[in-house]
Structure 1
Amino acid sequence: MSTSPAGTTPSDPLPLPSAPGAKRHPALGLVNTRTMRPSGEFDDLAETAAAGDWLAGVGLLPARTSLDPGSADRLRSLRETVRTLLAAHLDGVLPDAAALAELNAALNAAQFTEELRWDDPAQGPRRESLPSSGTPVDAALTRLARNAVDLLTGREAASIAACGAPGCIRYFLRTHAARQWCSTRCGDRVRAARHYARNRTPGRH
């Protein structure tokens, strides 16, 4: 699968609010690291250091872990794979075979063992999956791939939606059936454009 398209910008002064569902599903948050802004296409993961910071920010790598460029490429490639699968899900078509193969490869990049942890009386017992093979990056990619599978096959699969605002390429989980936008910013932008179109004086541009 391809990585980020050329021409993306490494920084932008206007960070977008998290789309509904992205905090619960890091795979959805990953997809939304590539967006469209007024300045053009923007990639939160364009820089290798930023890719490492993103993985640390969602708890998949220890803080201040340094990624190598190849690992950052793998993360960006997985992002495009998950985006392809989400689009196929929404279109009701079979996904690209290469995307499916790449996700399945990421699922098996690291192996995990299950343990029962019970180190906090207030929290009580909990199940924890710990990587037993592969690198920390392999484990992070496998966890992202697992989350993508959970998203596509779980109860919330029917809530996956693409933002309806022109030019927006983000995905989100609908909080109610009528929701069309990934953020109030997109909704306000569409409503403002509609208001302008209704009230524009005929003959003026």
Structure 2
Amino acid sequence: MKEPVTEQPVLPPAQGEDEHLSIALANSAIALPGGLTVDLLGTPEQSNQWLTERGLAPVDAGMREMCASQLRSLREQIRSLFASHASGLPAHPTAITAVNDAMTRVPTAPLLQWDDRTGPYRTIPHPTTAMVDHALATLAADAADLLTGPDAARLTACGSTPCNRFLLRHGRRHWCSTRCGDRARAARAYARRSAAH
């Protein structure tokens, strides 16, 4: 397996990423021709930037590797759910559990704590942890809403190899970008020419 590419590819958002943050999250690991991959969440800084660009974190959140790892892990579980849905296969139970855990991790009120010397008090978690938990809950809830809502029938995987992005199908379009559509059409044309000879 080749090393991940660090620079971001120039790809437009796939159809549906603007409406569903969970599709954007699923598409933050991009397979490129030649076995290359680009991980937009590869470092804590990249993860922080990705969340900031979507209004889920402040610029100076101070994301650490543990939090970035949680985001990447949720991405893989959502990708698993989307792939199962797009191919009409049962979902892996751990993916469902991960999404449900992310949605229920965020407390709706300050939690009760107990100090042995001063007694009971209420507190919210560490600000960065709370921010990440909130972002994970938002992304997980969006995935659950997508899979159970009216757009679920349109959710599909890009039809161009090796692309691994998801999109909401619009009409007959099965590609996440013009680049992938061009590559798929070129492959079909090549296959027709090869078969004719």
Q: Aligning the two structures, in what range does the TM-score lie when normalised by the shorter sequence?
A: 0.7 to 0.9
- Which structure 2 residues correspond to residues 166-205 of structure 1 after superposition, within 5 A? 166-176=161-171, 178-199=172-193
Q: Structure 1 pair 155/112, CA: closer, same or farther in 2 (3 Å)?
A: farther
Larger helix share, 1 or 2 = 2
Which of 123, 136, 139 pairs up with 2:131?
136
Q: In the aligned structure 1, how far is the partner of 2:24 from the partner of 2:6?
A: 17
| Inter-CA distance 8–73: structure 2 relative to 1 (3 Å threshold) | farther
Q: Does 1:100 align with 2:96?
A: yes
Aligned with 1:155 (options 125, 150, 155): 150
Superposition TM-score, scaled by structure 1 size: 0.79
SS in 2 for 1:155: coil
SS at structure 2 position matched to 1:172:
strand
Distance 1:58 1:37 in 2: 24
Q: Give 1:47's aligned residue.
A: 43
Q: Which amino acid aligns with 2:135?
A: A
- Give the whole-Å Cα distance in 1 for the aligned partners of 2:167 and 2:19: 11
**Residues 104 and 202 (structure 1), Cα distance of their counterparts in 2 relative to 1, 3 Å cut:** closer
SS in 1 for 2:152: helix
Q: Name the aligned partner's letter for residue 151 of structure 1.
A: L
Give the drift of 1:29.
0.2
Question: In 1, are the aligned partners of 2:78 and 2:143 still within 8 Å (CA)?
Answer: yes
Give the length in aligned residue pairs: 179
Q: Residue 31 in 1 paired to residue 26 in 2?
A: yes
Query: What is the 5 A alignment of 1:73-92?
Result: 73-92=69-88
Deviation (angstroms), 1:195: 2.9
Q: Is the 8 A contact 1:61 1:136 kept in 2?
A: yes
- 1:41: Cα distance to partner? 1.9
TM-score by length of 2: 0.82
Runs of 4+ aligned structure 1 residues displaced above 4 Å come to 199-203
Gaps spanning 5+ residues in structure 1: where? 1-5, 114-131
Instruction: Give me the whole-angstrom Cα distance separating, in 2, the residues matched to 1:202 and 1:104.
Output: 52
Shift of 1:105: 0.6
TM superposition shift of 1:91: 2.6
Give distance in 1, aligned partners of 2:8 and 2:100: 36
Structure 2: runs of 5 or more not aligned = 110-122
| Root-mean-square deviation over aligned CA pairs | 2.2
